[in-house]
Amino acid sequence: MKKFTKALAVFSMVGGAMFGTQALAEPFKIGICYDLSKAYTFATPQVAQAAQDLAKLVNMKGGIGGEPVEVIVRDHGNEPQRGIECYSKLSREGVFVFDTLSTPVSLAILPRAMEDGRILMQSLVGRGDAVDGKVFDWVYPIGPTYWGQAANDVAYIKQLHDGDLSGVKVGFVYFDYPFGQEPIEILETLSEKEGFELELYPVPLPGSDQAGVWSKVRRDKPDHVIVWMLGGAHVVASKEMQRNRIPMEKYISVNWLNEVDIANIGTDAAKGIKRGTNVVGGQDVALFKEIMTELYDNGQGSGPIEKTQDVFYNTGLAMYSIMFEAARNAVELEGLPITPTSYKAGLESLKGYDANGLMAPITVTAEDHGGGGQTRIEMWDGEAWVPQTEWISEYGDVVWDVVKESSAKYEQ
Amino acid sequence: MFYRLSGVHHANYVSDSRIFKVPADRNLAVFIFLIGLAAPFIIPSLYLNSYMLPWLIWTAAALGLNLVTGWAGQLHLGYAAVMAVGAYSAIHAARFGVPWEFALIIGGLTSSVIGSLFAFAALRVKGLYLALTTLAMQFVMDWVLTHSPAISGGSHASLQSPTLAFLGQDITSDTGFYYVAFGWCVLVTIFMLNLKRTGLGRALVAVREKDFAAAILGVNSFYYKILAFATSSFIAGVSGALLVATFFFLAAPEQFSVTVSIQVLAMVIVGGLGSVIGSYFGVALILLVPGLVNGLVVTVSEGLGMQINVETLAHIPNAVYGALIVIILLIEPLGLGKLYGNIRDYLMVWPFDQFKK
C-alpha cells in the first residue's frame, strides 16, 4: 500500500509537471523555415542567430505581454517541397508568423499563407509586388523591394551629379536570372525619365567568370555600376575591376554584400565599395551592444560571436525587432492571446519604427506592406561603413506603378 | 508461408503473361490500393498534404523517367525541363479558359512534342553523349523560363495556377487534391505494370539490352527510342502540371531546375531501374527522407536537451541522408526495388527454401 501511494505521488507529480507546463502561457511563436544548408547559407546562419539572440533577450526582459516568445528554426534546403512541409507542420502546431528568407520557398508558401490567413514575412526575398497590401493581405515584405532599392541607388547617383543625370552613364551588372533581372524595368523607366544612359551587363550564374563583363564595362566607361549579385560574385567582380583598372567607387552593390565579402576582397582593396542597405552596419548599435552585454558576455549567445560581426546579423536583428514589435503592438491593441488578425493589426500600426536606430524607419499601412522602402548608400572606407546619404525613398510613384502592374497579374 | 506457394510455375501462356504472377502480390497491391483510397480518412492531413501528395505525383513522374531510363535504357538529364513544359503550357491553357481536363492533356501533348522533337536531335548520339545532350535541353529550358516573362509570368517569374476543376467541380480541399494525385499515380502505375506485357515494352527492353541486336531482330530502335521519349514526356508533362495545380499552386523556374532533374534521376536509380515498386521507394527516399530525418534529428537533439547550433543541426540530416543512399547502393546496387525483390524471393517459399524457387 505504501508502495502504491508512493507510486501515485510520483505519478501525480510527473503528471502535474507535464500538464502544469501546458497550462502555462503558450509562447508567441515565429516559424523560421530557412535554407541553412544550400544556396542561402551566405546569410541565413547570421540571420537565424540574430533571431534566436533577440528572442532570448525579449524573454529575459519578461517576454511580450508577460508571455515568452519562441523562434523555431528549421532547415528546408531551399527546396519548395520541404518549405511547404515546414510551413504545414509548424502551422498545425499553432505558428502563424513565418519567415523563409528564400525566394523559391517564399513563392511556394505564399498561396497557402494567403489561403490559410497566416502571416508571411518576406523581408528582402520573394515577390516584390507583395508590398501591395490590397492584393497580398497576409504577406509583409518589410524593408526595401529590389525595385525600390534600385530607384534609391539612382536617386543617390542623382545627388552625386547635383540633380542632373543627363549625359550620365549607369551600368547595371546583374545575375542573369529573376533576382538580378528584377530591377531592369525600374532602371529603364528611370533612365527615360531622368535622361541617363543605361547599359546592361548580364552575368551568367554562378558568377565565377566575369572577365567578359568587366572588360566590356571598361570599354563603355559607365560613371557608376549598380550591381545585383551575391556572395562570392562580388569578390570575382572586384578582382576583374582591379584588372581593368576600374575604380572601386563606381561599384554600388545591392544589400547582399557583407563583411565576409569585404574580407575576401581584402579590406584595403575594397576601399570605396558602396552598397545600398536598410540597416545600420557595424557594431555601434544600441541593440547590438545590449545583446553583447546581456548574452555573449555571459556565454549565452546562440552561436559563435564571429557571426555577429556581420551586416546580415544586423539585418536579422532588424527583421525580428519588427516582428516582436508588431507582437507588442498586437497585445496593446487587442490583448492576449495574439491571433493572426491582431498580429496583422499590430504590423499595420508600426509607425516610424527604427528599432532604436538600427535601421531605416518603417511605417506599415494596410496599403503599403513594405514599410516605406527606405535605404541609404554606405561606403567602405577600409575599416568601417560610412553612410553617404540619409535614409531615402525616392521615385515612389514609378516603383508603385511597377508594383501595381505586377500585383494586378496575381489577382487575375 | 506468406505467399502460400511452392514456386512459380506456369502451365500456359495466359498465366505467364499475368500482371501479378503470384496471387499474394496481387492481394498486396489491392490492399495498398485500398489504403490509398482510404488515406484521407486515416492519415492526418499534415502527412496527407505534405508527404503523401508530393510522393504520389513525384512517383508518377519518376515512373515516366523510368520508362525512358529503366526500360529503354536512355539516360535523361533534362526530365525536369520536360515537366516544366507540361506545367507551363497546362497552366497557360487553364488561365486562357480551357477546362482543366483538356489543359492537362494539352500540357502532356506539348511536353510530348517538345520532348520527342528534342529526342530527334539527341538520339543521334548514345550513352553519356545523349545524357549531356539532354542536360543541354535542361539548360535551354532554364534559360527560356528565366528570360521570357510572357511564359514565366512577369518579372518575378512566378505564374499563378487557376483553381483546379474537374467536370465543373472546383477542387480546393486537401482530400480533393490527394485523390487527383492518387488517381494519376494509379493510372501511370497500371500503364507501367502493363507495359512489360506488351510488344512495346519488349521492344524497349530489346533496345535497352543492345540496340543493334534489336535492329537485327527487326525492332526499329530509333522509332522505339522516340516513342519512349514521347510517352515519358507525356507522363512528365501531366505530372508537372498536376504538381503545380495541386501542390505548389504557382509555377516558378526553381521548381524545375537542373537539380530537380538530377533528383528525379536519383529517385529512379536508387529505386531501381525498370522497377515499378522501386520508383515508389526511390521517391520516398529522395523526396521525403531529408525532411523526416531533419525532423528526427531536431526531436532527438531537443529531447536530449542538446544545444546544437542551427547550422550544424541542418547539416547533420544531410550527412545522414547521404550516408543512407551510399549504404543502400552498397547493399544492393540495383536499388530499393531489388532489395524488396530479394526479401520477397526469400519469403516466397519460406520456410521450405531448400526447394527450387
Q: Are B154 and B88 in contact (CB under 8 A)?
A: no
What's the CATH number where A290 sits? 3.40.50.2300
Task: Say how many CB pairs under 8 Å bridge A and B.
Answer: 110
Determine, yes or no, domain membership for A73.
yes
Residue A369 contacts B, CB cutoff 8 Å: no
Nearest to B158 among A74, A127, A304 (CB): A127
How many structural domains comprise chain A?
Answer: 2
For residue A125, the number of C-alpha atoms closer than 13 Å in the C-beta half-sphere is 25
Same structural domain, A32 and A166 = no
Q: Do A182 and B95 touch (CB under 8 A)?
A: no
Domains in chain B, CATH or no CATH each: 22-348 (1.10.3470)
- Output the pLDDT for position A3: 53
Confidence check: pLDDT of B357 > 50: no
Residue B222 contacts A, CB cutoff 8 Å: no
pLDDT tens string B173-231: 889 999 999 999 999 999 999 998 899 999 999 999 998 899 999 999 899 999 999 99
Domain residues for A168?
A: 146-277+376-396
Same structural domain, A304 and A175 = no
Helix (H) or strand (E) holding A5: helix A2-23
Cβ neighbours of residue B107 under 8 Å, at least 6 residues apart?
B85, B86, B87, B89, B90, B91, B93, B237, B238, B240, B241
pLDDT tens string B284-303: 999 888 888 888 888 888 88
Confidence check: pLDDT of B316 > 60: yes
- Chain A, 30 to 89: residues with Cβ < 8 Å from chain B are 34, 36-37, 41, 45, 48-49, 52, 73-75, 77-82, 84-86, 88-89
- Chain A, 280 to 309: residues with Cβ < 8 Å from chain B are 302-304
- Output the pLDDT for position B280: 95
Determine, yes or no, domain membership for A364.
no
What gap in Å lies between CA A340 and CA A321, rounded to an integer? Answer: 18
Same structural domain, A236 and A169 = yes
Same structural domain, A36 and A174 = no
What gap in Å lies between CA A360 and CA B202, rounded to an integer? Answer: 68
Buried b (16+ CB within 10 A) or exposed e, B30-52: eeeeeebeebbeebeebbbbbbb
Same structural domain, A261 and A383 = yes
pLDDT tens string A198-254: 999 999 888 889 999 999 999 999 999 999 998 889 999 999 999 999 999 999 999
B255/chain A closest Cα distance in angstroms: 7
Buried b (16+ CB within 10 A) or exposed e, A255-272: bbbbbbbbebbeeebbbe
Same structural domain, A153 and A197 = yes
Same structural domain, A310 and A326 = yes
Q: Helix/strand/coil (H, E, C) string of A86-125?
A: HHHHHHHCCCCEEECCCHHHHHHHHHHHHHHCCEEECCCC
A332/chain B closest Cα distance in angstroms: 32
Cβ neighbours of residue A297 under 8 Å, at least 6 residues apart?
none
What gap in Å lies between CA B108 and CA B101, rounded to an integer? Answer: 11
- Output the pLDDT for position B109: 97
State whether the Cα torsion B247-B147-A136-A328 is positive or negative: positive
Alpha helices of A128-206 — where are they, by DSSP H?
A: 146-160, 178-181, 184-194
Chain A's closest residue to B293, CA to CA, is A75
Q: Which chain A residues touch B310 with a CB distance below 8 Å? A: 34, 36, 45, 48-49, 52, 73, 75, 302-303
- Output the pLDDT for position A47: 93
Determine, yes or no, domain membership for A99.
yes
- Taking each helix axis from N to C end, the angle separating B336-348 and B276-283, rounded to the nearest 10 degrees, works out to 120
SS3 content of chain A, % helix, strand, coil (to 5): 50, 15, 35
Helix (H) or strand (E) holding A320: helix A311-334
Nearest to B310 among A73, A112, A176 (CB): A73
Q: Do B155 and A37 touch (CB under 8 A)?
A: no
Residue type, B198: T
- Across B54-80, average pLDDT: 94
Q: Which chain B residues touch A74 with a CB distance below 8 Å? A: 294, 298
Residue A182 contacts B, CB cutoff 8 Å: yes
Residue B222 burial (10 A CB sphere; 0-12, 13-18, 19+): middle
What is the grid cell recorded at B265? 534521376
Residue B155 contacts A, CB cutoff 8 Å: yes
Angle, CA of A177, B162 and B115, to the nearest 5°? 55
- Output the pLDDT for position B354: 64
Please, what is the average pLDDT of chain B?
Answer: 89
Q: Are A77 and A38 in contact (CB under 8 A)?
A: yes
- Residue A190 in 3-state DSSP? helix
- Output the pLDDT for position A56: 92
Determine, yes or no, domain membership for A14.
no
A89/chain B closest Cα distance in angstroms: 6
Mutate to test the interface with A, among B139, B164, B310, B313 (most CBs of A within 10 A): B310
Q: Which chain A residues touch B315 with a CB distance below 8 Å? A: 36-37
Same structural domain, A240 and A299 = no
Please, what is the average pLDDT of chain A?
Answer: 88
Confidence check: pLDDT of B249 > 60: yes
What gap in Å lies between CA B42 and CA A174, rounded to an integer? Answer: 50
- Residue A203 in 3-state DSSP? strand
Q: Which residues of chain A have pLDDT under 50?
A: 1, 5, 8-24
Same structural domain, A291 and A167 = no
Q: Are A255 and A277 in contact (CB under 8 A)?
A: yes
What is the grid cell recorded at B253? 523556374
pLDDT tens string A139-153: 999 988 899 999 999
What gap in Å lies between CA B241 and CA B235, rounded to an integer? Answer: 10
Q: How far is CA A19 from CA A15, A26, A63, in A?
A: 6, 13, 22
B306/chain A closest Cα distance in angstroms: 12
- Output the pLDDT for position B353: 64
- Residue A126 in 3-state DSSP? coil
B282/chain A closest Cα distance in angstroms: 16
Q: Are B104 and B60 in contact (CB under 8 A)?
A: no
What is the grid cell recorded at A356? 532604436
Confidence check: pLDDT of B68 > 90: yes
Determine, yes or no, domain membership for A3.
no
Q: Do A82 and B249 touch (CB under 8 A)?
A: no
Determine, yes or no, domain membership for A79.
yes
- Output the pLDDT for position A8: 47
For residue A206, whether the previous peptide bond is cis, meaning omega lies within 30 degrees of 0, is yes
Same structural domain, A150 and A140 = no
Alpha helices of chain B — where are they, by DSSP H?
A: 13-16, 23-42, 45-47, 53-66, 79-96, 100-122, 127-147, 149-152, 174-195, 199-209, 211-216, 221-243, 258-271, 276-283, 289-303, 310-331, 336-348
B95/chain A closest Cα distance in angstroms: 9
- Output the pLDDT for position A38: 83
Cβ neighbours of residue B116 under 8 Å, at least 6 residues apart?
B226, B229, B230, B233
Q: Do B49 and A88 touch (CB under 8 A)?
A: yes
Confidence check: pLDDT of B130 > 60: yes
Kindly state the DSSP code that residue B97 receives in the 8-state scheme.
T
Mutate to test the interface with B, among A33, A107, A402 (most CBs of B within 10 A): A107
- Work out whether strand B159-160 and strand B165-166 pair parallel, antiparallel, or are unpaired: unpaired
- Output the pLDDT for position A23: 39
What gap in Å lies between CA A69 and CA A29, rounded to an integer? Answer: 6
Q: Are A44 and A36 in contact (CB under 8 A)?
A: yes
A267/chain B closest Cα distance in angstroms: 27
ipTM rounded to 2 decimals: 0.85
- Output the pLDDT for position A27: 86
Same structural domain, A62 and A179 = no
Determine, yes or no, domain membership for A402.
no
Same structural domain, A134 and A57 = yes
